[in-house]
């Protein structure tokens, strides 16, 4: 019978990776994600793959986030030359994500090597290069949602909309091994049904084996209406006080949600700011991809856009100003009030947002809005935790701005949504919880037992099961 090995995002949320092998010799890698977070986790990105990349027949990627796709350039650097299957929109977003990631890897290695040269230490190589990323991109195969594709002998894959970010997919896999037929469903990252633009995750109801993410297996999110009202209040307050509003944001997903919401405020006549700057070249390119695939947006959001004659985000939020060049970005520094500035990095550990910190963070009338989680060890987390001063671009700066954290903008399903999605499967498939921290999985496991009388498994890293 076929085997499934749990290689990554096991009892943690990054480094998504699973291997499916049939007795007929088909080998399919599901996900090739990067480990992100603390140093020890990121070091895992350099450890040897527990398989020979040259032996794989196919690679299947659920969506473009780096924790699901970020090691693809390393996989090809180690000899993988087969197809990389993903949805059409994921294929476009992968180009943004992998080239940017490779650029950062090269830059990091360059910095480290300067330091090493001074210490007389040997140079390190980047995790991978732009050339590796370009090679990986040349191996992409784009597929529409709902189309069944044979990716290896006896292994058929169908992508279904997961509603998490543009192009995100639930991966349905049919494995024919000798006379045995097995049906595997991998949830990928499931979207939050309250987040805008994306459709609700597709509901499937048949599987023999189900792998389900559990990022927020322990809780429900705050209703997004409350979060929206909170944001509207902050914008009004900032307008009265005369300062700028800074929003550090991730380029893909979160930024498009924000632009949609700000557009809604604009259309309703309750956006007091005269200008919204999108100061992130990557987010600007991601916007263009979102606009191109607007037929994949949720029907009600598409209708709202259409009612205002908006085909692109710029039509929906006419005060949006994109500033791709460094000169345009620096020109924003002269604006002391009345602007909303959205810039990366999402956790403030670099990017253009830190330049805006330098010019605004010490102003009492500035408002800083975190629309998402800030990991430990990041500049964003220091500020959220109440630091009075922070070091920005080699200067110590007082944090006088008012700091807000918005909790309701998650792109992941909360506990009730996960339970609801799982409950539609008939005959309780064999269930494995993945992509979540252990305590959160245990809470979800208990909820599944209590509410659905369903025993879920929590696999160990490296565990192998017969499909």
Q: Kindly state whether residue 257 participates in binding Zn ion, applying the rule CB under 5 A.
A: no
- The encoded tokens of residue 380 equal 């964003």
- The encoded tokens of residue 245 equal 């509003």
Report which secondary-structure segment, H or E, holds 416: helix 415-423
Residue whose entry in the numeric block shows the structure tokens 């009892």:
11
Pairing of strands 180-186, 275-278: unpaired
C-beta of residue 347 within 8 angstroms of C-beta of residue 375: yes
Q: Kindly state whether residue 85 participates in binding Zn ion, applying the rule CB under 5 A.
A: no
Minimum distance of Zn ion from residue 41's CB (angstroms)? 16
The residue among 27 and 440 lying less far from Zn ion, judged by its C-beta, is 440
Q: Judged by CB under 5 A, which stretch of 142-150, 186-194, 328-336, 414-422 contacts Zn ion?
A: 186-194
Pick from 332, 327, 375, 382: nearest CA to 353? 332
- The encoded tokens of residue 294 equal 């607007």
Q: Judged by CB under 5 A, which stretch of 57-65, 134-142, 207-215, 358-366 contacts Zn ion?
A: 57-65
Q: Which of 95, 100, 177, 189 touches Zn ion by CB under 5 A?
A: 189
Q: How far apart are the first and last CA of the chain?
A: 7
The residue among 37 and 338 lying less far from Zn ion, judged by its C-beta, is 37
Q: Kindly state whether residue 65 participates in binding Zn ion, applying the rule CB under 5 A.
A: yes
Minimum distance of Zn ion from residue 421's CB (angstroms)? 16
Minimum distance of Zn ion from residue 272's CB (angstroms)? 33
- The encoded tokens of residue 417 equal 């949504």
The residue among 106 and 189 lying less far from Zn ion, judged by its C-beta, is 189
C-beta of residue 273 within 8 angstroms of C-beta of residue 318: no
The residue among 65 and 355 lying less far from Zn ion, judged by its C-beta, is 65
C-beta of residue 89 within 8 angstroms of C-beta of residue 296: yes
The residue among 9 and 109 lying less far from Zn ion, judged by its C-beta, is 9
The residue among 21 and 189 lying less far from Zn ion, judged by its C-beta, is 189
Minimum distance of Zn ion from residue 330's CB (angstroms)? 32
Burial of 67 (0-12, 13-18, 19+ CB in 10 A): buried
Minimum distance of Zn ion from residue 90's CB (angstroms)? 11
Question: Site size for Zn ion, by CB under 5 A?
Answer: 2
Minimum distance of Zn ion from residue 164's CB (angstroms)? 6
Residues interacting with Zn ion, by CB under 5 A? Answer: 65, 189
């Amino acid at each position: 019978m076929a085997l499934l090995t749990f290689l990554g995002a096991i009892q943690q949320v990054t480094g998504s990776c699973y291997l499916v092998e049939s007795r007929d010799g088909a080998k399919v890698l599901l996900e090739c994600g990067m480990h992100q977070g603390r140093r020890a986790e990121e070091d895992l990105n350099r450890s040897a793959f527990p398989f020979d990349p040259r032996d794989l027949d196919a690679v299947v990627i659920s969506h473009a986030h780096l924790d699901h796709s970020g090691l693809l350039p390393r996989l090809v650097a180690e000899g993988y030359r087969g197809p990389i299957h993903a949805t059409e929109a994921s294929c476009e977003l992968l180009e943004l994500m992998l080239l940017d990631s490779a650029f950062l890897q090269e830059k990091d290695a360059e910095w480290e090597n300067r330091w090493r040269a001074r210490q007389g230490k040997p140079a390190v190589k980047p995790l991978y290069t732009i050339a590796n990323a370009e090679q990986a991109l040349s191996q992409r195969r784009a597929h529409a949602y709902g189309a069944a594709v044979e990716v290896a002998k006896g292994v058929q894959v169908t992508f279904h909309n997961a509603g998490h970010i543009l192009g995100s997919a639930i991966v349905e896999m049919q494995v024919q091994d000798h006379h045995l037929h097995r049906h595997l469903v991998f949830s990928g990252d499931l979207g939050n049904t309250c987040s805008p633009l994306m459709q609700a995750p597709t509901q499937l109801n048949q599987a023999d084996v189900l792998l389900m993410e559990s990022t927020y297996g322990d809780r429900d999110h705050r209703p997004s209406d409350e979060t929206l009202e909170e944001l509207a209040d902050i914008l009004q307050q900032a307008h009265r006080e005369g300062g700028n509003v800074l929003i550090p944001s991730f380029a893909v997903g979160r930024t498009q949600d924000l632009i949609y919401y700000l557009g809604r405020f604009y259309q309703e006549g309750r956006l007091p700011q005269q200008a919204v700057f999108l100061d992130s070249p990557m987010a600007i390119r991601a916007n263009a991809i979102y606009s191109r695939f607007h037929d994949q947006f949720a029907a009600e959001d598409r209708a709202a856009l259409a009612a205002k004659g908006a085909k692109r985000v710029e039509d929906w939020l006419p005060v949006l100003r994109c500033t791709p060049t460094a000169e345009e970005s620096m020109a924003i520094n002269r604006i002391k009030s009345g602007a909303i500035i959205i810039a990366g990095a999402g956790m403030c550990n670099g990017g253009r947002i830190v330049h805006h910190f330098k010019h605004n963070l010490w102003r009492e009338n500035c408002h800083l809005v975190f629309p998402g989680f800030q990991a430990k060890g990041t500049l964003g987390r220091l500020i959220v935790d109440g630091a009075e001063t922070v070091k920005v671009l080699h200067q110590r700066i007082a944090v006088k701005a008012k700091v807000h954290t918005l909790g309701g903008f998650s792109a992941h399903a909360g506990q009730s949504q996960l339970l609801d999605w799982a409950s539609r499967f008939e005959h309780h498939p064999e269930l494995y919880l993945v992509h979540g921290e252990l305590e959160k999985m245990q809470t979800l496991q208990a909820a599944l037992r209590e509410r659905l009388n369903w025993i879920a498994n929590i696999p160990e890293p490296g565990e192998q099961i017969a499909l």
